[in-house]
Amino acid sequence: MVRSTPRRALPEVNGDSHHYPLFRQPLCIHPAVIARGEDVVSGILLQSCYKYMEDIALTETEVVCRITTRIANGRTPYDFSRKLQQVALTVVTDENYHAYVARDFLDQLSQLRAAPPIAHPKETELSVALAETLGRLPHEFHDEFELIAVAIAENTLTREIIDLRSDRKLDDAFRLSLSDHLGDEAQHSGFFQTFLGEFWRQVHPERRAILGRALPAFLIRYLGVGIEQQFDLAVLGTFGFSHEEAQEIVEDCHDGFTLGPDHPMLGNIVRLLQTAGIMSDAPTREAFWHAGLIARGA
């Protein structure tokens, strides 16, 4: 949706409501964190909310806009209709606006709460996963892999916003910002689903096998918690936990994380890839199975 929305001023934040869903920040249900009291729990949730907004701004501008601009400007070796290119341009418009709104939200909230954000990582799980995957692929496959990656990211982002809104204790400001964003993202995920199918139909079978085989390692890194763990260590440090205490808490919270067919975000991505025809290629299915991301025969 091309912009015409007035600036949204943050409502006063509600008394005991959360700035970020508890289920997305396991640090806040760790006994050692709960023992430090409600102020520490809500402070960590507030910093996690800031990080979410900053991640949105980075992802929208540096990944989604950058790659989608190539689609809009016809800078891919594939044929897409003029109509599809124009819709891609509306996505770019929306995403730059989302980045602006996310940073505006962060600034308004930090002023309301008189709590500045800690230093944010300049990388996201997506940017790291993408850089590592491109590092393993020959250069002539980079542009094509990025087209798949942006479609996956846009689909996942939409699913994530829907999940985030499900916490009933979320404050109104965060819920409203998610609702604004969701309106656009629901449209984008439809666009990228169509785009991915049209793109994949044009890719030569030999190239398909190479691109498809690169997907499992990308997804394992993208849906992992590497950057999240670094952030958690930093945030615990600012709330007075020693490095050793912080490490123990972070290990407790993230240990045992394995990406498998039951992971809801992965299930969502596999469905996207199936609909686009990407999972129809035997070498790709085989690679997913070997990586433990789908069940045999799926």
Report the interface residues with Fe ion, using CB under 5 A: 95, 98, 154, 185, 188
Question: Whose Cβ is closer to Fe ion: residue 120's or residue 188's?
Answer: 188
Q: Which amino acid is at 144?
A: E
Distance, in Å, from the CA atom of 145 to the CA atom of 80, rounded to the nearest integer, reads 17
- Residues facing residue 170 across a β-bridge: 18
Q: Closest distance between Fe ion and the C-beta of residue 26, in Å?
A: 25
Q: How far separated are the first and last CA of the chain, in Å rounded?
A: 36
Note whether 124 and 230 are within 8 A (CB): no
Distance, in Å, from the CA atom of 81 to the CA atom of 276, rounded to the nearest integer, reads 17
Q: Closest distance between Fe ion and the C-beta of residue 59, in Å?
A: 8
Question: Whose Cβ is closer to Fe ion: residue 61's or residue 229's?
Answer: 61
Question: Whose Cβ is closer to Fe ion: residue 162's or residue 298's?
Answer: 162
Q: Closest distance between Fe ion and the C-beta of residue 88, in Å?
A: 11
Give me Rg for the CA atoms of the chain.
20
φ, ψ at 18 (rounded to 5°): -90, 145
Note whether 122 and 58 are within 8 A (CB): yes
Distance, in Å, from the CA atom of 241 to the CA atom of 260, rounded to the nearest integer, reads 32
Supply 281's token pair: 């290629």
Rounded to 5°, the CA angle 59-78-148 comes to 35
Q: Closest distance between Fe ion and the C-beta of residue 227, in Å?
A: 19
Q: Closest distance between Fe ion and the C-beta of residue 133, in Å?
A: 21
DSSP 116: P
Distance, in Å, from the CA atom of 48 to the CA atom of 42, rounded to the nearest integer, reads 10
DSSP 140: G
Question: Whose Cβ is closer to Fe ion: residue 84's or residue 209's?
Answer: 84
Note whether 56 and 98 are within 8 A (CB): yes
Q: Closest distance between Fe ion and the C-beta of residue 94, in Å?
A: 6
Question: Whose Cβ is closer to Fe ion: residue 40's or residue 148's?
Answer: 148
Question: Whose Cβ is closer to Fe ion: residue 36's or residue 103's?
Answer: 103
Q: Closest distance between Fe ion and the C-beta of residue 179, in Å?
A: 13
Question: Whose Cβ is closer to Fe ion: residue 101's or residue 203's?
Answer: 101
